[in-house]
Structure 1
Amino acid sequence: MRVKIFIDFWNLQLSWNEYHQNLGSSATVKIPWNKTLPQVLLSRVGSDAVYAGTHVYASVNPKSAADRKLNAFLQIMDTFPGYRVTVKQRRPAKPVRCTNEGCRQEIRTCPHCRNDLTRTVEKGVDTTIAIELFELAFDDVYDRAILISGDADFVPAIEYIQRRGKYIIHAGFKGQSYDIRKASWDHIYFDDAMADLLTASES
């Protein structure tokens, strides 16, 4: 049984951070991307699971120093065995404006602390994931796909793919992503797998 993993980077990273913050962790708990994450996920699919690779989809703001550092890490991740990483550039969001209809002046910085109010939005990541879920299913690349995303917009795609004999397994945290989890053939809770994720060696 061939199993391919599809990961919405920011969905996993932010949910992971929130989970550990809720447990009271003040230190950063890193996701064991390289070997452990795929191994632990596959171990919960079945003893006959054969790893068919991991696709990661991320977005970065090229004007952000922190995101440039992240992008460098994502390029390293792209060299991990079985990994393929797709990175999209975040686009400027609609500007913050005064709510007074007679004004509507664009506000780029906070008038009190001078903090930058310019925002960016993610474009194209979910579409790319959906397209590749379809393409690789129809090209018979996988039998089961593990999908890490919380976007309910994937539900129609999941249902369509499953009607054609391929099955989606959702991976996420408890209390999140109910619609996509319900539509999927099965699910994996990171909460239940956390001990294995944090104790296995990445070497």
Structure 2
Amino acid sequence: MPGTPETGEPAAAAPRPDLVLLGVFGAAHGVRGEVRLKSHTGDPAAIAGYGPLRTEAGRVFELVSVRPLKDDMLVARVKGISDRTAAEALTNLRLHVERAVLGEADAEEDEFFHADLIGLTAETADGNAFGTVLALFDFGAGDLLEIKPSDGGRSLFLPFTKAAVPVVDVRGGRLVVVPPAEIEGEPPPAAGQVDIEPAAPRRRGLGPPAR
């Protein structure tokens, strides 16, 4: 089976609902086998606490240690990876954990795991493409979704409320957004990575009506 251009891994037939994306390997870091790792867990370093992580193609990796680099980017040491060449081969590999490890969010209670939201396609109520969810932040006044616009440009920040995000379809890989009249183009000055237990599901706020 041919591999994907980005990773060389066999292409997965379809996203697996039994796996939750927790992070993505980036470029090699230094010459001793360390690699950059973008974490999607609430506390970035908590990704190392889930035990072995796997790709959709079945490769398994054990994180020996992680240390912060910037924001949600870490520097990771991976078991069995001891030189730069081996670390370079990890670039763009997506790391998952079995959903059973996280437990279940209560959809009826409008709860969603942080990691489930990352990568969802955002579209408007009339079905037009809006962007892709990059991250979830809590700046002290409620959760904000960081969305990369479909037409390019800098990220936009929308409140994660029922008014601004009326539909979240994790299994369908999408959410519907109703952008307020004014959309934040930059995080507030006190911006910081949301600091929550990564296994705790997030609940949308009610928020003010979208305009």
**Shared fold per TM-score greater than 0.5:** no
Q: Which has the higher helix share?
A: 1
Q: Which has the higher strand share?
A: 2
Q: TM-score range by the shorter chain?
A: under 0.3
Bigger Rg, which one: 1
